[in-house]
Structures are given as structure tokens and as C-alpha cells.
Amino acid sequence: MPINYEELKALLFQNKGVKQVIIKNTFWLSMTEAFNKILKLFLVIYIARVLGAVGYGEFNFALAFASLFIIFTDFGIPVLATRELAKDKEKEKHFPALLALKLLLTAAVFVLTLAVGFFTIKDPIIRELIFVFALMIASHSLIEIVFVFFRARQKMEYEAWIKIIEVAINAALGFFVLFNFPSPVNLSWAYSFAAIIALVASLVFLRVKFIPLKLEINLRVWKEYFLIAWPLALVGFFTLIYTQTDSVMMGFFKLIKEVGWYSAALKIVGASLIPAGLVSQCFFPALASALKHPERLQKIWNYFLQIMIFFAVPVMVGGIILAQKIIDFVYDPSYFPAILAFQILILTTGINYLCTPFNQLLIVLNQQKKMFWAILGGALINVILNSILIPRFTLYGAAAATVISMIFIFSFLIRLTFKSAPIKSIIGPQIIFTFVASLLASLPMYFAISRPMIYSLNIFLSILIGALVYAAVFSVFYFFFSRAGKGRAEE
């Protein structure tokens, strides 16, 4: 059957209904993430092996330290701006003021990061790393405000191309440095240059495809967005506390090699969250646009939570079983101390998948003030547990602290969503069917990939077999439960 290029163009480049927009955005973001993660996977493998646990630890400690200041570069504004611009196209006139505000915040935070690093860090190598990573974070901060415009228009294809450009340049420069001038500092410069080039590309896309580039000092607009964004900014700040303080605290305890092992495990856990990020970016604008239509909102919510449940359970089960093979494949035996940390941290992946729909819906509902208390509690629990567990259990204590804090946050978000959501059913029959089917399908997947014959295969084959078994069994169980549920409803 010949390809109809007009239909293909309409599917991948135009917005024509909820399902088509979600499919289009998912395609572009999936393609981008697949391309980016493959390149980053190979780059991370070489970074960890060439730099070793100590060099990799220095690299990630400096990155974690600089990342603690990220939230002050956006103050929660990009997420809220995406929501506001997606709901009302007239608010696009605020964009020049938002761009100017983002530039001022980014410049101020860049200076703050350098000052704090200079007065708290004595190691000259880590000081230089912090400077370079602060430059990279500043570039990403400005890129993010451009992405606000693309996401509000639900034109994720432009965001996809910019991310591809950055990762391709990052990989090319990163491999060049590793093969010729390997050091944490030189590698950090490769990351920073790639981010700067991506920033230029994003501004070009914005200027050519959408609106003229201009800055506007508008105190009224700034005040408006600050007033609605400050709770989300605090949420973001305390989110960074419980995501970044593990590495930072281990660094201050002088456990640099442990930071390297812990970061190695975290990198793989981060890769396992790719589907969550893709689905979230695609569904957030759809949730915002459906807020005034309860039936449509209910339908989108059901799709969102079901997809997250579908991914959450097998990722946790498969990650725990295949942990040693994954660490051995990605790194080498010198990173085997990261295996147990990875098995603990993979639990946070499943929790993150389940948290995402609740988190996104609450933001759409303007409930970020109440979300703050969940994140604050999680951050405090994480810091307290880190201070107790890291000195005794090193990276394994840090991993356990992260899991416990995530469980607390998830419990709070569920409770808040039940109180605030304007939809009839937060966890209806379809959600229950999906969860039960996912649990049951994970059992044969577990037995399949834990068999010596399959476990001994190449890691990709083991994962593929597990995924096929899970998907097949899940489909059978979900179909059975759905038919049973419809039968009871008809009675």
C-alpha cells in the first residue's frame, strides 16, 4: 500500500484532535528520547570507564552541587506558563516579559552558584567543574522558556529537534574529549558547549517559526506569574533537595568514590524513567486544555494513569532481577558496588511513574500550594535519613532514604488528588483492572527472565523476552477483566 504523504504530514505535523495530538507528540518525543538515550548510554559507559569511580564521582558531585540552584532560574514559572498559554492563546503576549524575567533570574543564579561554590568548596578541580556546569545550567534554563512556547502550542517536534541537536553535539564533543583529553573538567566543557549551541538553535526556531525575539520589562506580568508560581517554585526547590542532596551529602562526607557508584546507578534509573517523561509531556497540555470539560478530563486521566501503571510494575520487577547484568553491561565489574543501590533505587522508578499523573493533574488544578507540603515533608525526611544512614551505610543508606521519602510524597499526592480533582473517579474500574493485570503479568515475566537460559543471554535479549512475555500476558488479563467488568455493569 503506497504511503499517503499528505496524511502522514497531517498526523506528524498538525494538531487535529486529542488522540492525534497525543500520538504526534508521543512520536516526536519518543524518537528524540530514543536517539538521545542511545547516544548518552554509550557516552556514559565511556565516561564511567575512562574517568573511573573517583573521576566520575567528582564529575557528578559538581553537577549535583550546581543543580541545587536550578529551581531559582525558573521559580516554577515554565510549568505554569505552559498551563496558562495552553489554556488561553491570548496570553502569548506575555511571552516577551517571561523571556526577560527568565534571563534576569538565570544571570542572578549563575553568579550565586559561583559565589557559594567558591566559599564552600576548597578543591580547585571541583570549583572549576561547578563553574562550567553553572554555565550549562544557565543555557538549559533559557532553553526551557522557549520550550514553554512549543509545548503550549503542542508543537513538540521543534523541541525534539533541538534536543537531538544538543545530544548529537554533546556526544561528538564528549567522545572526542574522552579519546584525546580525558578529564572531568574537559568533559564538562563539552557538555556546556553543546548546551550553548542548543540555546542558539532554540532561539532560531522560535524566531523563524513563531514570533519575533524581544524582551519586555513588565512588572505586572512578572508579579502575576510569581504569585501563582511561588508554591511550585518551593515544590521544585524541595524536590531538588531530595533528588540531589544524596550525592552532595556523600561528597561532603568525602565519599567521592561512593558518589561515582551511586551516580552510576542513578543514571540507569533515570533512563528507566524515559517513558514517564514522554507520556507526561504529551498529556500535560491535554489535561490543561480539558479542564473545563469534565468528561474529556476523565477520559484523558484514565489513559494517563493506565499507561503509567502499565510501565511501572515491570520496570521495577525487571530492574531488580537483571540488576547485575545491567551494571556489568553498562559499566564494568569495578562498579559492582552499585548493584544493590540500583536495586533499591529502581523502586523509586515505579513510584515516580505512579506519582506523575497525580502531580500533573494537581498542577493543572492550581493546587501547587498544597503540593508544597508533600514535597517539603519528603525533602525533610530525605535529609534527616541521609544524615543518619549515609555515615553508616554509605550509598545504600542514601538509596533507602530516597525510597522512603518518595513513598511519603506519593501517599500525600493521592490524598490531595482525591480531595481536589473535579472528576468522578480517580481510581475507577479501568485503573484497578490495569493494576491487577500488570501485577499478574509481572509474575510470568519474572519466571521467564530469571531462568538461567534466558538470564544468560545478552541483556537486550533478556529485556526483550521479558517485555514480550509481560505485554502478551497483560493483554490477556486486561481483556478478561474488562469483559468481566462490562458484564457486571450490564447486570
Residue type at position 454? I
Asked if 67 and 240 touch (Cβ cutoff 8 Å), the reply is yes
**pLDDT score at 194:** 93
Burial 284-315 (b: 16+ CB within 10 A, else e): bbbbbbbbeeeebbbbbbbbbbbbbbbbbbbb
Pick from 125, 257, 253, 193: nearest CA to 117: 125
**pLDDT score at 490:** 46
**pLDDT score at 23:** 61
User: pLDDT 10s digit of each residue in the chain, 491 long?
Assistant: 444 545 544 545 555 555 555 666 666 666 676 677 777 777 877 888 888 888 888 888 888 888 877 767 777 777 777 777 777 677 778 888 888 888 898 899 899 988 988 888 888 888 899 999 999 999 988 888 888 877 777 677 778 888 888 888 998 999 999 889 889 999 999 999 999 999 998 888 888 877 778 888 888 888 887 777 776 667 666 666 666 778 888 888 888 888 889 988 988 888 788 777 777 767 777 777 777 777 888 888 888 899 999 999 999 999 999 999 999 888 878 889 999 999 999 999 999 999 888 888 887 887 767 777 887 888 889 889 999 999 999 999 999 999 999 999 899 888 888 887 777 778 888 888 889 999 999 999 999 999 999 998 889 899 999 999 999 999 988 888 766 555 444 44
**pLDDT score at 246:** 84
**pLDDT score at 1:** 42
Cell readout for 395 is 550509598
Grid cell 498544597 in the structure block, residue: 370
- Give the C-alpha separation, 443 to 53, whole Å: 35
What is residue 337's three-state secondary structure?
coil
**pLDDT score at 373:** 81
Pick from 231, 240, 241, 243: nearest CA to 362: 231
Domains of the chain, by residue range, sit at 18-427
- Give the C-alpha separation, 129 to 375, whole Å: 29
Cell readout for 236 is 521544585
This prediction has a pTM of 0.70
Pick from 292, 18, 52: nearest CA to 154: 18
